[in-house]
Amino acid sequence: MTARVLIRVAMQSIVKNKLRTALTMLGVVIGVGAVIVMIAIGSGAQGRIQEQIDNLGTNMLVVTPGFTQAGGANQGAGSFNRLKVEDAVLVQREGTLFSAVSPVINSRAQAIGGNGNWRTEVQGVAPSFQAIRDWSLADGAFFTDADTKNMRKVAVLGHTVADALFPDGGAVGARVQLRNVPFTIVGVLAEKGQTASGGDQDDMVLVPYTTMQTRLAGFSFISQILVSTSSPDQIEAAQAEVRLLMREAHGLVNGDADDFTVRNQNEIADAAKGTTRVMTALLAAIASVSLLVGGIGIMNIMLVSVTERTREIGIRMAIGGRGSDVLTQFLVESVVISMAGGIIGVIAGMSGAALVGHFTGWTTATPIGAILLAVGFSAAVGIFFGFYPARKAAALNPIEALRYE
């Protein structure tokens, strides 16, 4: 029998038993659909995490205080602060791979102005902070180097603070009071949204770090130093250079432990995405159990089909049909059923992922590779679980098959 005839005979057998075929495919449909939904949710989560990491800044390095030990117990990162504005100035002056550097001084204060008050985070930064964080303005302008040099009382509001104090707009040019010190609002930042940890990036007020030190904070140490590079390829080299410059600034010699920590956003992203990848793989593996169940269903139905069609198989072989023809016919039936179930499962899975995203607000994404893998795996399920029934049909003795009642 030719391949065309074999396929036509197999399709006729499938179409003749519509209900049984549909029920056989159901297990594969559910399995593939579940896998697609899980992968879509996981891939969407990874994409969302990368987007949030990118929102942190452009090719950014973060220098934070180091750690100290008390009574043999490590007090953790940030417990020993020796960071100063002078460190940021040295890194800016001596660095060869940095496009921008900004000290950061963190504090909290009650912002009073407009229609009320709002407790928020106040950060003292340099004008280069805007370029490092790649943060555009919704209104007004960022403060300048001249504002920083002259310690002017100017402020840029985050989107959340601006909405809380000036819900009708008009924040630029107005006054806001921070710890009894009046500041003129020169700009409002564009909305950035939440961080990967759920924090609100827009709930802040930015002021010149010189003004922060003299008017608000009252201490010489700073919270962190932000550094950006010109391209992602320079991040690792820049990280090493920052470390060398910071050790020089703090007078550390060989054998001395760093009293600071230098991190880059790629490390943060890799850690977050690694966790998500593990969870996605786990969920997909659990969903794949449905495919196994669907494959067993295919094998059971094909074994029943062999029993029902024993006389038909005997007639085919008695008039010259070969065992290989029978084997191929049953394999074709099994593969067609599983692949059809796989395709329907992909459609159901993509629809399910879209519904999950719509009702939960989660970001979902279905990679093309996952679709091809699901369809290919469903075909493999058909071959694997269909081979034994097909082999059993091909091994039938024609005479005994013709006697079968």
Predicted confidence (pLDDT) per residue in 138-175, tens digit: 999 999 999 999 999 999 999 999 999 999 888 999 99
Confidence of residue 52 (pLDDT cuts 50, 70, 90): low
Tokens standing for 96?
């060869």
Tell how many helices (H) and how many strands (E) occur in the chain: 13, 12
Which range is least confidently modeled, 89-98, 320-329, 344-353? 320-329
CB 59 within 8 Å of CB 230: yes
Only one residue has tokens 């709002």, namely 118
Is 105's pLDDT higher than 80?
Answer: yes
Only one residue has tokens 């001084």, namely 105
Backbone φ, ψ for residue 51 (5° rounding): -60, -40
Is 380's pLDDT higher than 90?
Answer: no
pLDDT value, residue 287: 65
CB 273 within 8 Å of CB 265: no
Provide the 10 A C-beta neighbour count for residue 368. Answer: 7
- 316 Cβ neighbours under 8 A, 6+ residues apart: 325, 326
pLDDT value, residue 1: 53
pLDDT value, residue 217: 76
Percent of the chain with pLDDT strictly greater than 90: 28
pLDDT value, residue 399: 66
Q: Quick one: average pLDDT of 194-203?
A: 76
Which range is least confidently modeled, 71-80, 224-233, 254-263? 71-80
pLDDT value, residue 80: 53
pLDDT value, residue 123: 94
Backbone φ, ψ for residue 305 (5° rounding): -65, -40
Q: Quick one: average pLDDT of 276-281?
A: 70
User: Which of 175-189, 340-354, 361-375 has the highest average model confidence (pLDDT)?
Assistant: 175-189
CB 91 within 8 Å of CB 98: yes
Is 363's pLDDT higher than 60?
Answer: yes
Amino acid at 93: R
Tokens standing for 60?
């950014």
CB 55 within 8 Å of CB 192: yes
Distance CA 45, CA 39 (A): 10
Which range is least confidently modeled, 17-21, 196-200, 336-340, 341-345? 196-200
Q: Quick one: average pLDDT of 189-204?
A: 81
pLDDT value, residue 73: 41
Global confidence as pTM? 0.61
Percent of the chain with pLDDT strictly greater than 70: 82
CB 238 within 8 Å of CB 229: yes
Mean model confidence pLDDT for the chain: 81
Q: Quick one: average pLDDT of 56-85?
A: 64
Q: Quick one: average pLDDT of 219-248?
A: 88
Which range is least confidently modeled, 6-15, 193-202, 213-222, 268-277? 268-277
Which range is least confidently modeled, 1-5, 278-282, 330-334, 342-346? 1-5
Q: List the beta bridge partners of residue 125.
A: 208
* Residue 68 or 371, more confident: 371
pLDDT value, residue 184: 96
Distance CA 147, CA 173 (A): 15
Is 131's pLDDT higher than 60?
Answer: yes
CB 176 within 8 Å of CB 112: yes
